[in-house]
Structure 1
Amino acid sequence: MYEQHFPHKRYKETLAFLEKHVPKDQALLDLGVENPLTKLLKKNDYQIENTKGEDLDLDFSSVKNSSAEVVTAFEIFEHLIAPFNVLREIKADKLVASIPLRLWFSPAYRSKTDPWDRHYHEFEDWQFDWLLEKAGWKIIDSKKWTNPVNKIGIRPLLRKITPRYYMVYAERIS
């Protein structure tokens, strides 16, 4: 067995969490366009298809037309104005989703150059849990982890001890 290099700690954490809950023979629909994490999951034998870049606040066609057994949503719900709507439209019975957590010492992320790369929401864990529950999902497992940076200062120190990411495995409530 070889040691796999991960460009980000969250990739390593995401892959481990997915392997814990989702067999590799189950088809995945990932909300969001193909990205480096998608490529990593394919490299690790996951059958994954991505949405096409449509506005998931308004267009649910990829979700409605998918026959995937599992939907994944890695750091996308914070970009949506109304994530509740797409969560209700998912046909799959399993969901693996991650979000960046709201940090009290840092403002919500907003790109100065890309008008689409902004966080409309940065959730606390209980808020995300409530959103999933109201949308018809039961959380089976969850995990949080930090995102340390190699810098000196108060914020970098806080990033070493404050969880930044939150991931859940949930199943549809009948």
Structure 2
Amino acid sequence: MYTKLPVKRYEHTITFLQKVLPAPATILDLGIRNPFSEIMEQNGYTVINTDGEDLDVLPEIVKKHNVDAVTAFEIFEHLLSPFNVLKLIEASKLIATVPLNLWFAKAYRSKTDMWDRHYHEFEDWQFDWLLEKSDWKIQETEKWTSPINKIGFRPILRKFSPRYYAVYATR
């Protein structure tokens, strides 16, 4: 069913998750069920996903379940106002990843899917500030690159420029 999985990104993400929130734990994972939901379950987590609701319009969805933590892997960049969702989360732990803004590449925008677009691509300090303004205390962060096997100036820069930013925060 899934042919092009971002294996390295998933490996980094599960390693970060296991470090900051060891299994077993019950997680509300923002976004529809996806291959990473299955990876989390294979690693001992109980995962509840949202059903594809527009979190800008219905941010209160995050209050629907009593969970140990909320995860948001590659979600906040799609929202016009991630602040509203972050403010309403009742769980005491948040693990999130966001794509970092790369000076040599524009924000992602699918040419075929009108919903698969990034409204935000963050600088690390911007995402930190967003979390702090919504009452989260950052406990741990990590960055990693996203190299691609192509020839050119941008592919070379991708080997050295961090693309993803992971944050563990608590209330």
| TM-score bracket, shorter-length normalisation | over 0.9
Deviations, residues 17-56 of structure 1 (Å, cap 9, x unaligned): 0100112122100000011111111111111110110000
Deviations, residues 52-101 of structure 1 (Å, cap 9, x unaligned): 10000111343111101100000000000000000001000000000000
> In the alignment, which residue of structure 2 is the partner of 1:89?
88
- Counterpart secondary structure, 1:156: helix
TM-score when normalising by structure 1: 0.93
> In the alignment, which residue of structure 2 is the partner of 1:79?
78
> In the alignment, which residue of structure 1 is the partner of 2:35?
36
Once the 2 structures are TM-superposed, how far is the Cα of residue 7 of structure 1 from its aligned partner?
A: 4.7
- Map residues 21-60 of structure 1 onto 2, 5 A cutoff: 21-60=20-59
**CA RMSD after TM alignment:** 1.0
Tell me the distance in 1 between the aligned counterparts of 2:112 and 2:15: 33
TM-score when normalising by structure 2: 0.95
- Aligned length, in residue pairs: 167
- Counterpart secondary structure, 2:159: helix
List structure 1 runs of 4+ shifted beyond 6 angstroms. none
Runs (5+) with no aligned partner, structure 1: 1-5
Runs (5+) with no aligned partner, structure 2: none
**1:155 alignment partner AA:** R
Contact 2:55 2:79 in 1 (8 A): yes
Report % sequence identity.
60
Tell me the distance in 1 between the aligned counterparts of 2:162 and 2:6: 19
Tell me the distance in 2 between the aligned counterparts of 1:75 and 1:148: 17
- Counterpart secondary structure, 2:11: helix
> In the alignment, which residue of structure 1 is the partner of 2:132?
133
Tell me the distance in 1 between the aligned counterparts of 2:112 and 2:76: 20
Contact 2:147 2:158 in 1 (8 A): yes
> In the alignment, which residue of structure 2 is the partner of 1:147?
146
